[in-house]
């Protein structure tokens, strides 16, 4: 090959290779992280409760046995720790929208591809956002994730049967007890979901109060199985 052409190609490749979002090395790859940074992310891989994804010996935890949530299972990609917590904040507030693709791709590769139940899922429903909040923020971070997951896994996306009909203070601003009260009765489902298996998609599961209330609404509408697919799970400190 012409040496000048070869040099030009090498130079261009180096110059336009995406940076790693975390260490700024030139090895960002398709997902935005270099191999080393990718390995260091807080993967949610410790033995956990299959229903709520909190640490356990791999069996259903005491709190799910005592007061079973309305959802039947949870798949959480990361624990909500550094740097995923800060990346998710950037994603949510729109400075890093391309992270939707990274997070959704990793959730599929690390959790959903090997998850047997996926074959039985009839619908993917993203955590609905109140219309006025959607207008203020301009996008629903859960819907963008759900869109990519549905497309890649060839599952049906449903973002219209379920609405958030009440505007309440953000859950993050409230302690646990208040969160449960705050979220009660805020969802409405206009569709008959009789016998369906549904996956709910959200970015972060903190206490699980919102996902639990949404699962309750869907079960009331007839859903037979509801599970949560989230990017990160907050573990109690």
For Zn ion, which is the closer residue by CB, 28 or 128?
28
Minimum distance from residue 216 beta carbon to Zn ion (Å)? 16
Minimum distance from residue 179 beta carbon to Zn ion (Å)? 17
Task: Rule CB under 5 A: say whether 37 interacts with Zn ion.
Answer: yes
Give the whole-angstrom CA distance, residue 126 versus residue 34. 29
Task: Rule CB under 5 A: say whether 49 interacts with Zn ion.
Answer: yes
Q: How many CA atoms lie within 13 A of 40 on its CB side?
A: 10
Pairing of strands 187-189, 162-164: antiparallel
Q: Which stretch binds Zn ion (CB under 5 A): 52-60, 112-120, 146-154, 224-232?
A: 52-60
Q: Which of 61, 106, 145, 155 binds Zn ion (CB under 5 A)?
A: 61
Measured in whole angstroms, how far is the alpha carbon of residue 221 from the centre of its chain?
Answer: 23
Q: DSSP state, 139?
A: S
Q: Which stretch binds Zn ion (CB under 5 A): 3-11, 30-38, 96-104, 129-137?
A: 30-38
Contact between 100 and 141 under an 8 Å Cβ cutoff? The reply is yes
For Zn ion, which is the closer residue by CB, 32 or 126?
32
Measured in whole angstroms, how far is the alpha carbon of residue 215 from the centre of its chain?
Answer: 15
Sites of contact with Zn ion (CB under 5 A)? 20, 22-23, 34, 37, 49, 51-52, 61, 64
């Amino acid at each position: 090959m012409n040496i000048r052409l070869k040099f030009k190609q090498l130079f261009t490749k180096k110059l336009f290779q995406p940076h790693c979002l975390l260490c700024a090395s030139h090895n960002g790859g398709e997902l935005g992280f270099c191999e080393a940074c990718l390995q260091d992310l807080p993967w949610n891989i410790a033995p956990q409760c299959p229903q709520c994804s909190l640490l356990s010996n791999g069996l259903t935890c005491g709190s799910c046995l005592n007061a079973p949530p309305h959802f039947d299972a949870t798949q959480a990609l990361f624990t909500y720790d550094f740097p995923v917590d800060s990346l998710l904040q950037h994603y949510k507030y729109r400075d890093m929208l391309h992270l939707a693709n990274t997070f959704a791709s990793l959730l599929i590769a690390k959790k959903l591809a090997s998850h047997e139940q996926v074959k039985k899922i009839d619908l993917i429903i993203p955590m609905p956002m109140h219309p006025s909040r959607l207008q203020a923020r301009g996008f629903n971070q859960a819907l963008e994730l759900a869109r990519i997951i549905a497309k890649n896994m060839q599952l049906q996306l449903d973002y219209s049967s379920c609405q958030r009909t009440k505007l309440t203070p953000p859950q993050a601003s409230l302690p646990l007890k208040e969160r449960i009260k705050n979220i009660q009765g805020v969802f409405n489902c206009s569709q008959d979901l009789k016998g369906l298996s549904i996956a709910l998609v959200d970015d972060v599961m903190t206490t699980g109060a919102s996902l639990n209330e949404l699962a309750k609404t869907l079960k009331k509408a007839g859903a037979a199985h509801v599970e949560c697919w989230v990017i990160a799970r907050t573990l109690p400190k």
